[in-house]
Amino acid sequence: MLIDSHAHLNDERLLGQVGEIISAMEEYGVGGAVCASYDAPSSIKAAELADKYAQVYATVATHPHEAKSFTSKDAELYGALAKNKKVLAIGETGLDYYYDLSPRDIQKKAFREHIALADELNLPLVVHVRDAYEDTLEILTAERSRLNNGVLIHNFSGDTEIMRLFDGLGCYYSFGGTLTFKNNKRGIEAFLSADISKILLETDCPYLTPEPHRGQLNYPYYVKYVAKKGAELKKIEYAEFADITAINTKRFFRIHNL
């Protein structure tokens, strides 16, 4: 069985076809998907989808792009949504210096507040990081006493050296469609060096569609292509790799009914 550990079923491009997507997931051998959020409305929608579909789980948070709009009311909302047992984590939160859609100091403040919230709620933390690995590592290290429930670096895009530093914090890593890109040498090297017990698979749909569908809309069931590439790179059987990553996902998110 496969699990898509990071999918945006709450994205407007996918919302109208979630039922069809769930059916296709079953055909592809994908048993579940974690619907990741990026602001208050998407968090509400993720929780609603998790309530509606047995195969869907949710995370709640404000993405670093939207950090400038993050308020205490949002934190209260996420705390209330987290009372739902299918809301599994706080995320995606973190730092994104590639687009800088929110000022960096505000991103850092919001990130720290999300870390505190995850600790308060006894939930894992799902971290988005792009072109900001040094500051992300610095904040996580400073907040280490609050990282009691696990940290997942979603769509890991750093190199092997930076991965070793995050290993020191016990982080997990999810890999998506970029693993299938031929020119992604750094990502492939990092994947090969990653402890297989810390690897999760994702699509980040509708973004980052893997080969052979690159350039088209992405769906949770396309995680199968990521798994095929991952098994090939790790030189193990596809079914074994799928099972290992599913076990890792259930362990990280504490999923007991899938």
Please give the tally of structural domains in the chain: 1
Distance CA 81, CA 217 (A): 29
| pTM value surpassing 0.85 | yes
> Which neighbouring-strand residues pair with 30?
2
Which domain range does residue 36 map to?
Answer: 2-253
Q: Which residue has the tokens 């987290």?
A: 82
pLDDT tens for each residue of the chain, 258 residues long: 999 999 999 999 999 999 999 999 999 999 999 999 999 999 999 999 999 999 999 999 999 999 999 999 999 999 999 999 999 999 999 999 999 999 999 999 999 999 999 999 999 999 999 999 999 999 999 999 999 999 999 999 999 999 999 999 999 999 999 999 999 999 999 999 999 999 999 999 999 999 999 999 999 999 999 999 999 999 999 999 999 999 999 999 999 988
Residue 83 domain-assigned (yes or no): yes
Measured at the alpha carbon of residue 172, what is the angle toward residues 149 and 12, in degrees to the nearest 5?
90
Q: 5-34 burial by CB neighbour count: b if 16+ within 10 A, else e?
A: bbbbbbbeebeeebeebbeebeebebbbbb
What's the distance, CA 219 to chain centroid?
Answer: 14
Tell me whether residue 101 is in a domain: yes
Burial class (CB in 10 A: 0-12, 13-18, 19+), 251: middle
* Any domain includes 96: yes
What DSSP string describes 123-182? --EEEEEES-HHHHHHHHHHTGGG--S-EEETT--S-HHHHHHHHTTT-EEEE-GGGG-T
Q: What is the CATH number of the domain that holds 174?
A: 3.20.20.140
User: Is 258 a member of any domain?
Assistant: no
